């Protein structure tokens, strides 16, 4: 079964540093997303991406965040200057055009720890 | 924007009993309501979903009901088993052009099934 792949699985960074979280969506999917989950809390929407541009973003997705699809396979989330409160699990997701069940798939996540 | 409320936050049942988790949403335009199961340290996994043109959907021991007028939807698990123990999240979104759009999640229900 096709999977959304995320790397690294765990990243530790110092406050103020830039981090890039990487995702490889399922190959025939057209819609890409980033979500985050602070430990013990709910999953929160960050941003959706379609046709090489951001289609929606939440209040969390401020100027410190950016997304990019640098080539035909990768989808990245960059945090320019990390804060302690950015520590969370970050999930990438992708979905297909039809949106049928199981078309929306989460990756296994990157645990970001800011120290 | 959309707001999803979920309750209870914790639920403990005996093996074999039924479990019911309830969610309400605020945006009447929402038309897609998935339920996710998340085991500790893992990604959310879709277990069932329902669209606003359907009032009820069942998949083996799991069923979801939707009341559009009252803007609430519920997850029903029958004949619970210890492996059903996990955190369950409801979500709501507006599907457009086939995409699930951004999913707004509830805060989660920690279900414990005691053998």
Residue B15 confidence (pLDDT): 97
* Any B CB within 8 A of A5 CB: no
Residues A19, A12: contact at Cβ < 8 Å?
no
The residue ranking higher by pLDDT, A24 or A104, is A24
Average pLDDT for chain A:
90
* Any B CB within 8 A of A9 CB: no
Q: How large is the average pLDDT for residues A76-103?
A: 84
Residues A94, A105: contact at Cβ < 8 Å?
yes
What is the interface size between A and B, counted as CB pairs within 8 Å? 61
Residue B97 confidence (pLDDT): 56
Residue A100 confidence (pLDDT): 47
CB contact under 8 A, A42 and B108: yes
Residues B52, B39: contact at Cβ < 8 Å?
no
pLDDT tens readout for residues A19-53: 999 999 998 888 899 999 999 999 999 999 988 89
Q: Between B98, B104, B107, which is nearest A45 by CB? A: B104
CB contact under 8 A, B105 and A42: yes
Residue A99 confidence (pLDDT): 47
The B-side interface with A (CB below 8 A) comprises 32, 34, 36, 42-46, 49, 89, 91, 95, 97-108
Residue A103 confidence class, pLDDT cut points 50, 70, 90? low
Assess whether pLDDT exceeds 60 at residue A65.
yes
Residue A62 confidence (pLDDT): 95
Residue A97 to residue A99: CA distance in whole angstroms: 6
Q: What is the 3-state secondary structure (H, E, C) of A16-74?
A: CCCEEEEEECCCCCCEEEEEEECCCCCEEEEEEEECCEEEEECCCCCCCEEEECCCCCC
Regions in chain B scoring below 50 on pLDDT: none
* Any B CB within 8 A of A98 CB: yes
Residue A87 to residue A91: CA distance in whole angstroms: 13
Tell which of A48, A104, A105, A110 to mutate to test the B interface (max B CBs under 10 Å).
Answer: A104
Q: Between B44, B98, B102, which is nearest A106 by CB? A: B44
A48, two tokens: 């959706």
């Amino acid at each position: 079964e096709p999977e959304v792949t995320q790397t690294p699985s765990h990243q530790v960074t110092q406050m103020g540093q830039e981090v890039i979280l990487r995702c490889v969506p399922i190959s025939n999917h057209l819609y890409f997303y980033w979500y985050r989950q602070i430990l013990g809390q709910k999953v929160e929407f960050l941003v959706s991406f379609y046709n090489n541009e951001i289609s929606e973003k939440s209040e969390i997705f401020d100027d410190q965040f950016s997304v990019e699809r640098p080539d035909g396979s990768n989808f990245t989330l960059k945090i320019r200057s990390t804060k302690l409160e950015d520590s969370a699990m970050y999930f990438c997701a992708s979905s297909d055009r039809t949106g049928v069940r199981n078309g929306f798939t989460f990756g296994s996540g990157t645990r970001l720890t800011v120290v | 924007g959309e707001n999803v409320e979920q309750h209870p936050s914790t639920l403990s049942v005996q093996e074999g009993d039924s479990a019911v988790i309830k969610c309400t949403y605020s945006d009447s335009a929402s038309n897609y309501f998935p339920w996710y199961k998340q085991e500790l340290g893992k990604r959310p996994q879709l277990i069932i979903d329902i669209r606003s043109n359907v009032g009820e959907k069942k998949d083996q021991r799991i069923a979801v009901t939707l009341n559009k007028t009252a803007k609430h939807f519920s997850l029903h698990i029958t004949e619970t088993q210890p492996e059903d123990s996990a955190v369950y999240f409801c979500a709501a979104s507006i599907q457009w052009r086939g995409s699930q759009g951004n999913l707004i999640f509830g805060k989660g229900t920690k279900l414990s099934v005691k053998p």
